[in-house]
Amino acid sequence: MFRRILCVVSALALALVGTVTVQVLAPDRAAADGCYTWERTLQQGANGADVTQLQIRVAGWVSSGENLALDGDFGPATAAAVKRFQAGYGLPQTGVADSATYTKIYELQDNDCTPIHFAYSEFDNNCGANNYLGGKVSEATAKENIKRIMWQLEAMRRKLGDRALNVTSGFRSVSCNNASGGSSTSLHMYGQAADLGLNNPAQCTLWNAGKSAGFEELLGPGYPGHNDHVHFGNKASRSWSAPNC
C-alpha cells in the first residue's frame, strides 16, 4: 500500500513538472521494505534489536526439539537457523544474514511484518469478536506473540512443500476461551498458541512438523479434545503429546 501511494505521488509529480524531472524520481533507497529494513550484515557475535528481528523470522528453522531464543544475541543457534532458512529457499548457506537473506525475508513479509501466507485476521476470531482484546495480555503483546507464531508456521509451511495451512483458532479472550472449553491456563489467551485443522497434510504430519518449528506445546490426535486439530504453542517447558501418532 505504501509503495502504491508513493507511485501515485511520483506520477502526480511527473504530471505536474513534466518529463525532464525523471532523474529526480530515482528510487528512494532509504528503506528496502515497508515493514522493516536491516541496516547491516549480521553474523555470529552481533547483538541488538536487529538481531531479534532476524531471530523472529528464522525461529521456525530450528532442529527438532530446539527453541530459538529471541534474545538479540547472534550465537551459533541463530547462525544454524539462518543456514536452514537459506537452504530452505535455495540460497548460499553462509549462516550470515547478508543481502540475499534480507531480500528473501523482504519477499516473505507484508508491510505489517507478518509473513505473506498468514494474516492477523486468521488468528483473531475470538468467538466472533474479531479482535485481540480481553485476553491475559495487552492487545499489542497478543499480536506480537501471534506474529511470532506466524513466522514459525511460515517455515513449517515451506518445509511441508508450500502446503496451505488451515488456522482454526488463534487468540482467545478469557471469556472466549471459557466458552470454547479451553484449559484455564490456555496459551490461546496470551496469543501464544494456534490450532491447525484437519487438511492435507495429515494431522500427525503436522504434529511432527511442529517439533522442528520451535513449538514447545504440541497437542494432537489421541490427546483429549485434539482429534480434529493440532495445537501449537510457545512456552518455556515442553508438552508434546499425540498418543495416536
Residues with catalytic function? 226
C-alpha cell, 92: 548460499
Residue 27: CB atoms within 10 A of its CB come to 7
> Is residue 239 classed as helix, strand or coil in its secondary structure?
strand
Q: How many residues bind Zn ion (CB under 5 A)?
A: 3
Q: Give, as one character, the DSSP assignment of residue 181.
A: T
Considering only the stretches 83-91, 99-107, 140-148, 191-199, report the one whose residues sit in contact with Zn ion under the rule CB under 5 A.
191-199
Least distance from Zn ion to the Cβ atom of residue 188, Å: 6
Supply the minimum distance, in Å, between the C-beta of residue 220 and Zn ion. 10
In the complex with Zn ion, which residue's Cβ is closer, 122 or 195? Answer: 195
Tell me the C-alpha distance between 110 and 33, whole Å.
9
Binding window for Zn ion (CB under 5 A); candidates: 115-123, 158-166, 170-178, 226-234: 226-234
Using the minimum distance from each CB to Zn ion, give the nearer residue, 77 or 176.
176
Helices assigned H by DSSP within the chain: 2-17, 49-58, 76-88, 99-108, 139-159, 174-179, 203-211
CA atoms within 13 A on the CB side of 11: 6
Q: Which of 53, 157, 231, 242 binds Zn ion (CB under 5 A)?
A: 231
124 interacts with Zn ion by CB under 5 A: no
Binding to Zn ion by residue 172, rule CB under 5 A?
no
CB of 223 to Zn ion, least distance (A): 10
Cα dihedral 216, 222, 224, 227 in deg (nearest 10) = 90
Location of C-alpha cell 501471534: 146
Answer yes or no whether residue 195 interacts with Zn ion by CB under 5 A: yes
Kindly state the smallest distance separating residue 115's Cβ from Zn ion, in Å: 20
Distance of CA 86 to CAs 97, 151, 243, Å? 9, 15, 34
End-to-end Cα separation, the chain, in angstroms: 44
Closest CB to Zn ion among residues 91, 137: 137
Distance of closest approach, residue 235 Cβ to Zn ion, in angstroms: 12
Residue nearest Zn ion, Cβ-based = 231
- Please, which residue, 134 or 233, has the CB nearer to Zn ion? 233
The residue whose grid cell reads 495451512 is 165
Q: State whether residue 120 is helix, strand or coil.
A: helix
Rank residues 51 and 146 by Cβ distance to Zn ion and give the closer one.
Answer: 146
Residues engaged in binding Zn ion (CB under 5 A): 193, 195, 231
